[in-house]
Amino acid sequence: MTSVNDLLRVITALEPHRFDADEIEANSPVLPVFEVPAVRLARQFTTQQIDALLTLRKWGEIGTETQSLGSILYESTPVPADVHTAVATILGAVIEPSPDRVLTLRSQAIELMAHLDERQALILRHRWIEEEGKTLEELGEILSVTRERVRQLETKGFDKISEQINTSLFDELRWAAWKVSNGLGTKAPAESQVTRDLVRSLCGLDLEDPAFEVIRLINRMQIKGGWFVTGSAPDVMAAFAHSAPAGFATLEEFDQILWTLGIERRFRDEILASEERLLVRLGHVIRRYLAV
């Protein structure tokens, strides 16, 4: 079955040439076997729809490409080795990988420091903004706390700034989803939220097996919505049943929901592994909103 990624890759390749049906058919034999169905599917799209799907791909990249908040604050400098993994990966701000975007987010992050605890702001400023940065040990001496306490304060500061930045970015993403839905001639959902039906129409795929549909949407869907919190599995199941936006609480609850949907253990493990980068640390609320 053709995945969304396969389809978008083919459309991206065809877009500069605007191949007509005959040219696509002529080029099909030289494509990898798994891309042939995508080429045939791509033939069904109009120029307007291709433009909309390319927009979808662009915003999908914003939802999957990450750059650490530390790199944003200190421009392109790599994250120091002693920064906690949670800061370097999980708490990374989701951005479009362009210099202008990095500069914009860097300015926004610096402005947000004014709302941090005084110690958190001092640590982030000396660790990421000042040219002559200080080590955890040096900051510990200044604040009369342990090295580990400095690390904890740094992580909390990153957490607060990342949440604000990501919320702003995903507001943009919801607006982009609304524009994409209009480009494909589909009716935008209420409040520009992305639902399972909209994703199906955007993908142009008819997924018959309900369990496989959920796997594909979770693994392949390029659009992630805003921010949504729920601690109730029944609420999430009700959202699935009504094709409404859904949020998940913990890894354990996420796994339970997938089990309830009849997804086998091996598939659940794959899903949890692929989505883990989108989650806040184990046991915390998953703030990433996943529309299905």
User: 192-223: per-residue pLDDT in tens?
Assistant: 333 444 444 444 433 343 333 333 333 333 23
Question: 17-26, 110-119, 260-269 — which one is most confidently predicted on average?
Answer: 110-119
Q: How confident is the prediction for the chain on average, in pLDDT?
A: 52
Helix %, strand %, coil % of the chain (to 5): 65, 5, 30
**pTM of the full structure:** 0.35
The rounded distance, in Å, linking the Cα atoms of 289 and 191 is: 15
The rounded distance, in Å, linking the Cα atoms of 160 and 170 is: 16
* pLDDT more than 90, % of the chain: 3
- From 184, 171, 167, 82, select the one nearest 133 (Cα to Cα): 82
Indicate the DSSP class of residue 2.
-
Residue 145: pLDDT band by 50, 70, 90 thresholds?
Answer: very high
Q: Which CATH number fits domain 66-171: 1.10.10.10, 3.40.50.300, 3.10.290.10, 1.10.1060.10?
A: 1.10.10.10
All CATH 1.10.10.10 domain ranges in the chain, comma separated: 66-171
Give bridge partners of residue 94 from the DSSP assignment. Answer: 66
Indicate the DSSP class of residue 126.
I
Residue 159: pLDDT band by 50, 70, 90 thresholds?
Answer: confident
